[in-house]
Structure 1
Amino acid sequence: MSNLDTATSLERIQPDSPHAERIAAFVHDGIDLDSSPREVQSNTFWQRINGVDTSLWVDSGDIDAIESIWNESFSGLTTNNTLLNKEVQNGTYDDLVPTARELADELCDQALVREIAFILNVRHALRLVERFRCDVSVELHTDLANDTEATLAFARRCHQICPQHFVVKIPLTPAGLIATRQLRDEGIRVNCTLGFSARQNYVATALARPSFVNVFLGRLNSYVADNRLGDGKLVGEKTTLASQGEVATFSRALPTTDTLQIAASLRDASQLPDLAGVDVITIPTKVANQAQQTLDQPWQSQLNESYDVKLAAEVDSETVGIEKLWEVSKAERFFVQQAILSPPQSAEELRLMTTDHDLEDLFPMMADADLQAIARDGKIPVHDRWKGRIVRGDLAIDSLMTLAGLASFADAQAKLDRRIREHLG
């Protein structure tokens, strides 16, 4: 097993190994990226509506659904483990699994499953690139979220397969940020995913300089509404606009930073005008179709807007800490200054630095039982379960939602892994 690095708990194929080269050739087989791209139609609706400096991406992995709305106003695609799982579960890639196994048969059981999942992921992403000739954000296996070295290995391989169009999605965890900083030093584009606040993205931009950061705004609105903390309206939109402003400060001040803000997790077309001016908006195909049926006025930039968000009258605001979604505190700004001067070299060092600055709620420590409870709740955690910790200051809505997002993606990944195991026998 000379091509495997067993120095960490995750066995894996190294980017510069013959195994990696054979797998790259395999996923490229039958994919033609050298021919002239198909002609893309213009669309007067999106040209008229989107009169601001906002790039539009489609949030889908379904080629037929994307095809139905794709036009020259769209410039990118973003996929995740949930979206990929939908494509895998319908049997599209079942025939690839036996050959993929032969290419990576030296790996142990879980590492083999992880490798085949990687192969399926990048193969599908290449098909998207072939058809739409645009940037595609590609997510890594959820097992890697807290493993810096494994993230680096898989991210480098992902980039090597399609350096012109692939953007590697890495979650906003301590390990993910350390890996992202190294990858950006190597010129690899990273989409720092599962962000939920301005302060998270402020820290991520300062420490790691990702190409993109996110606010999953629809989930924030649902968190407030589903937990009956308020009507949930404009919570995510207010957070996204605030995050855009904080991220832009680094791009203006530091020539080495070019981070852009993504507004993600839209639920309804009516949210689009409220986000006008944000760097990138990712749109599910359902929302894009709805927009063409319901929107008619050109968008006006909302970058200077600060939406009014109110909690329900009976809710004690101290048990929610909702302002942490859109505010960056003096303590967080001071922490960032110190981290820039003395960058943390590991995930553990980053976590300890936040603790030293009384910012435990950025990357909270969670017992296994807590993580299991978050997973059971799904994408939207039950607020009453966590409000005691929110009051104590060692947990916040944004970090809780990041953990819930990881758990949700891990659930989809587990379903994909089970299908792979079925075909492995």
Structure 2
Amino acid sequence: MSATPTTKPTFATIEPASQASERIKAFVYDQVDRDAAPFKPERDEFWKRLNVTETELWLDSGDIESIDSLWDAQFSGLTTNNTLLNKEVQNGTYDDLVPQTTNLVEQLPEDARVREIAFILNLCHGLNLAQRFGCKVSVELHTDVANDSEATLAFARRCQEICPDSFVVKVPLTPAGLIAIRKLRDENIRVNCTLGFSARQNYVATALARPSFVNVFLGRLNSYVADNQLGDGKLVGEKTALSSQTEVATFTRGLPATDTRQIAASLRDASQLPRLAGIDVITMPAKVAQQAKQTLRQPWKSQLNEQHSVQLAEDRDPARVRIEKLWHVSNAERKFVQKAILSPVASADELKRMAADHGLEDLFPTMADTELQTIAGDGKIPQHHRWEERIERGDLAIDSLMTLAGLASFTASQAELDQRIRKHLH
């Protein structure tokens, strides 16, 4: 994929390496004791005994107190997101910090000021986590930039400047996100391509953008099937995550410039952990880690060669669900990837058109504003009956629908965070 054209973001941003950016960088550094020794947990052999595979273990949390109680030498990363950061902000953790930032961003319009302060809070929190636990920290950008490649590039580059050894920039799996990720990877900036829900999405992301990590939010997939009474929901996400692992590993094998690794995310229960053994990375919420220590005893066996069986409810027509799209990569998707590699595109719109030309309208679906509002209103788990006709028609699929729902959910959390910031600006 060729470099993106030199265009400005659709809203005001601070340029990397500018005087304003450098002042903010210095401010963030001042909020963290960078000479403090990393937190050292008490010795606990639990995870070492349990995880005898090569799976890397992360915690999906931004709550330092919860992490302290669970942290172990076997953990090597933390994932945060807009929802997790919002919890910390709503607790008042950074209320005293917000007024101190206003003189750093006073030259910007109010919306841009709020966005910038939210970015500063994210950097401060991420740097605190990296300093305390000495590990990789996935840091999410403001949801406003999800569909803006140039804004994503600007914020991601500044994020990298703060903590290049520990920060992994989270960018959602949107057409604009993929365009930005490829450029960031050309600059050796590590990226966690988030909000992935299928093997085909992650195959496309790996081939076209080479992110450091891709995800399957597997717990949400199980809930989608169960909550919509499409089936019992068991093993849907696990089957998808393991299939995605196979596709990503197969594509990257023998390609030194592509080192993408698969993350299993959105776990709901400790019983899911052994079913994912052998996958590259598992990131688990604190409550799942706590439950694991109480309930799991047997060492894990790799599940990479397992073929989990998933059945729809008897009264469900498979053609109106098309659940196989979660774990199957079609010939059309492989041909689309080949075309996109041989004829690189420079914009999100071009990428969407190329996908549509290959009969893959459902990969990056076109949605009316009213449809996006409906998705946002449903929350993390959309109501299947609203979208059944489009899914059957082939211009929408469960994975792309779930990506849109996930982004809408993060956007709602971001709006709450932004509102708290606004309260301190007036």
Secondary structure, aligned partner of 1:399? helix
Partner in structure 1 of residue 80 of structure 2: 79
The residue that corresponds to 2:3 in the other structure is none
1:397 is the counterpart of 2:398: yes
Q: Equivalent residues in 2 for 1:81-96 (5 A)?
A: 81-96=82-97
- How far apart are 1:34 and its partner, in Å? 4.1
Whole-angstrom distance in 2 between the partners of 1:222 and 1:38: 36
CA distance in 1, matches of 2:47, 2:32: 30
User: Is 1:190 equivalent to 2:191 in the alignment?
Assistant: yes
Identity score, percent: 70
Scaled by the length of structure 1, the TM-score of the pair is: 0.98
Could you tell me which amino acid in structure 2 is paired with residue 336 of structure 1? V
Matches within 5 A, 1:332-411: 332-411=333-412
1:256 corresponding residue in structure 2: 257
Question: Are 2:249 and 2:261, in contact at CA under 8 Å, matched by a contact in 1?
Answer: yes
CA distance in 2, matches of 1:8, 1:221: 37
Per-residue CA distance 1:342-366 (angstroms, 9 max, x = gap): 1111101100100111100000000
Given residue 147 of structure 2, which amino acid in structure 1 is its aligned partner?
N
Correspondence list, 1:58-77, <5 A: 58-77=59-78
Q: Judge conservation of contact 2:31–2:124 (CA < 8 Å) in 1.
A: no
> What is the CA–CA distance in structure 2 between the aligned matches of 1:67 and 1:40, rounded to whole Å?
8
Whole-Å separation in 2 of the counterparts to 1:93 and 1:30: 11
Deviations 1:290-310 (A, max 9, x none): 001111000000000110000
User: After the TM superposition, which residues 94-133 of structure 1 pair with which residues of structure 2 at under 5 Å, given as runs?
Assistant: 94-133=95-134
Residue 92 of structure 1 aligns to a residue whose secondary structure is coil
| Contact 2:10–2:148 (Cα < 8 Å) also in 1 | no
Distance in 1, matches of 2:101 and 2:279, equals 40
Residues 369 and 29 (structure 1 numbering): CA distance in 2 closer, same or farther, change over 3 Å? same
Structure-1 residue corresponding to 2:55 = 54
Kept in 1, the 8 Å contact 2:9–2:149? The answer is no
Aligned mates of 2:332, 2:279 — CA distance in 1? 26
Question: What's the CA shift for 1:16?
Answer: 1.4
> For residue 311 of structure 1, what is the aligned residue in structure 2?
312
Q: Give aligned pairs, total.
A: 421
Q: What is the one-letter code of the residue matched to 2:244?
A: S
Write out per-residue CA displacement over residues 51-73 of structure 1, whole angstroms, 9 at most, x where no aligned residue: 00000000000000000000101
Instruction: Determine the C-alpha separation between the residues in 2 that align with 1:139 and 1:334.
Output: 31
Deviation per CA, 1:297-329: give whole Å up to 9, x if none. Answer: 000000001100000000011110000000000
Aligned-partner Cα distance in 2 for 1:16–1:403? 33
Q: For residues 198-217 of structure 1, what are the structure 2 equivalents within 5 Å?
A: 198-217=199-218
Matching residue's letter, 1:24:
K
Deviations 1:35-92 (A, max 9, x none): 5434344321111100000000000000000000001010000000000000000111
Partner of 1:233: 234
Distance in 1, matches of 2:419 and 2:292, equals 37
Would you say the 8 A contact 1:41–1:72 is kept in 2?
no
CA contact (8 A) 1:42 1:73 kept: no
In the TM superposition, what is the alpha-carbon distance from 1:250 to its structure 2 partner?
2.0
Any idea what SS the aligned residue of 1:303 has?
A: coil
RMSD (Å) for aligned C-alpha atoms: 1.1
In 1, the alpha carbon distance for the partners of 2:46 and 2:73 equals 11
Cα contact 2:7–2:150 (8 A) shared by 1: no
Is the CA contact 2:375–2:382 (under 8 Å) kept in the aligned structure 1? yes
Shift, 1:32, TM fit: 3.0
Whether the 8 Å contact between 1:15 and 1:156 is mirrored in structure 2 is yes
| Alignment partner, residue 170 of structure 1 | 171
- The 1-side partners of 2:199 and 2:364 are apart by 15
Structure 1: which amino acid aligns with 2:43? S
- Following the alignment from structure 1 to structure 2, what is the Cα–Cα distance between the partners of residues 310 and 173? 29
Which ranges in structure 1 are unaligned for 5 or more consecutive residues?
none
Letter in 2 for 1:114: R
Question: Aligned-pair distance for 1:202?
Answer: 0.1
69-78 or 38-47, which deviates more: 38-47
- Cα-to-partner distance string for 1:101-151 (whole Å, 9 max, x where unaligned): 110110001111000000000100111011101000000000000000000
For residue 149 of structure 2, what is the aligned residue in structure 1? 148
Give the Cα–Cα distance (whole angstroms) in 2 for the partners of residues 83 and 184 of structure 1: 26
User: Residue 380 of structure 2 contacts residue 402 of structure 2 at CA under 8 Å; is this kept in 1?
Assistant: yes
- C-alpha distance after superposition, 1:233-290 (max 9, x if no partner): 0000000000000000122132100000000000000000000000000011100010
